[in-house]
A and B are shown apart, each in its own frame.
Chain A
Amino acid sequence: MSLTKFGTQVREYRHTLNMTLTTMASGLSTSSSFLSSMETGRTKIPMEWVEKIASFFNEKGLKVSKEILKALACEDNESVCLEGLPPHQKMLVAGFANSDFNHEQLMRLGKLLADIHGENAKNGSDEH
């Protein structure tokens, strides 16, 4: 077992803040073993904890995207929670999960979505 993608990111944030696992655990009123189990993939990562952790880092002055952390955690958990999503999003997620898109098609779709919603989207739309 190695670090999960979520764990790698969280440990990087801690290093940036020069914060120890114990300090983070006590700041979140939990144990270092609980945090460690999420970071190493011994347990599934509960989504409410992803939110708590993202808020914790933001409170410490580090700009952390809740969405990115959640996406990493979902990938590690190998499951996506559909709870609370509007019906069309649920359909989209389920559709993608069961699609037979090949790697190349998914890459192209991913790039298209990134172009549409990415940081440079505004600049791009101004060009034409």
Chain B
Amino acid sequence: MAATNTEPDFDYRMRGQRVHPLAAEDINFVSQRVKKILQLTKRGFSVKNAERTVASFELYGIYIDVVDDRQWFDATRATVDPASGMIYMPQKLYDQLCRGKAEAIRIFLHEVGHIVLGHRPLLHFANAEKNPTHIEDSEWQADTFADALLDLLKLPKEDAQLELRF
């Protein structure tokens, strides 16, 4: 379980790269700004509009490179190069994103998070002797950004499991 922002969480296990620490409230603020500047709405991620919304990120230097499923060897579902603003994802995931699938939107926003939070690996630490905490974990930060934005947009974080309802 994640510790609070003020207490060091000695047992925290990093999932991503160690980056400059950002508290949840700072990340929430960034998500509010992104929503406002890019004029994101819930409707924008509907089946009809999702691909246009995703393409509108290009106006701000955030691009998607759709990779043939057969050429996608990465263990991750998507990946990003924050320096060039390029998000890489397999065709299958891109198609799900265009159909407004909740999990695909969450993955896309997670990768956007890496870009807008300015993630670059930190190679030299002033406090290298200290264990990293969750607020320094690029993966935790990107997840927090995606979830904050999904909450603001009132979008679900998971696709409805229809088969379980019957």
Binding site for B on A (CB under 8 A): 1-3, 11, 14-15, 18, 20-22, 31-37, 39-40, 42
Binding site for A on B (CB under 8 A): 51-52, 55, 58-59, 63-69, 71, 81, 84-86, 90-91, 94-95, 98
Known interface pairs A2-B84, A2-B85, A32-B91; A20-B68 also in contact (CB < 8 Å) = no
Contact A1 B52 (CB under 8 A): no
Chain A residues whose C-beta falls within 8 Å of the C-beta of B91 in the assembled complex? 31-33
Chain A residues whose C-beta falls within 8 Å of the C-beta of B52 in the assembled complex? 18, 20
Measured in the bound complex, the distance between the Cα atoms of B98 and A15 in whole Å is 16
Measured in the bound complex, the distance between the Cα atoms of B63 and A32 in whole Å is 14
Contact B65 A32 (CB under 8 A): no
Measured in the bound complex, the distance between the Cα atoms of B95 and A21 in whole Å is 11
Contact B67 A37 (CB under 8 A): yes
Among B55, B64, B95, contact of A14 (Cβ-Cβ < 8 Å): B55
Chain B residues whose C-beta falls within 8 Å of the C-beta of A35 in the assembled complex? 66
Contact B68 A1 (CB under 8 A): no
Among B67, B85, B86, B98, contact of A33 (Cβ-Cβ < 8 Å): B67
Measured in the bound complex, the distance between the Cα atoms of B84 and A80 in whole Å is 27
A interface majority secondary structure: helix
Measured in the bound complex, the distance between the Cα atoms of B107 and A33 in whole Å is 18
Chain B residues whose C-beta falls within 8 Å of the C-beta of A15 in the assembled complex? 55, 58-59
Contact A40 B65 (CB under 8 A): yes
What's the nearest-Cβ distance from chain A to residue B4, in Å? 39
Contact B55 A31 (CB under 8 A): no
Among B66, B69, B85, contact of A21 (Cβ-Cβ < 8 Å): B66
Chain A residues whose C-beta falls within 8 Å of the C-beta of B58 in the assembled complex? 11, 15
Measured in the bound complex, the distance between the Cα atoms of B49 and A20 in whole Å is 10
Chain B residues whose C-beta falls within 8 Å of the C-beta of A14 in the assembled complex? 55
Contact A40 B51 (CB under 8 A): no
Measured in the bound complex, the distance between the Cα atoms of B63 and A42 in whole Å is 14
Measured in the bound complex, the distance between the Cα atoms of B64 and A37 in whole Å is 10
Contact B55 A36 (CB under 8 A): no
Smallest Cβ-Cβ distance to A2: which chain B residue: B84
Measured in the bound complex, the distance between the Cα atoms of B66 and A11 in whole Å is 14
Chain B residues whose C-beta falls within 8 Å of the C-beta of A42 in the assembled complex? 65, 67
What's the nearest-Cβ distance from chain A to residue B74, in Å? 14
What's the nearest-Cβ distance from chain A to residue B25, in Å? 32
What's the nearest-Cβ distance from chain B to residue A64, in Å? 19
Among A2, A18, A32, contact of B66 (Cβ-Cβ < 8 Å): A32
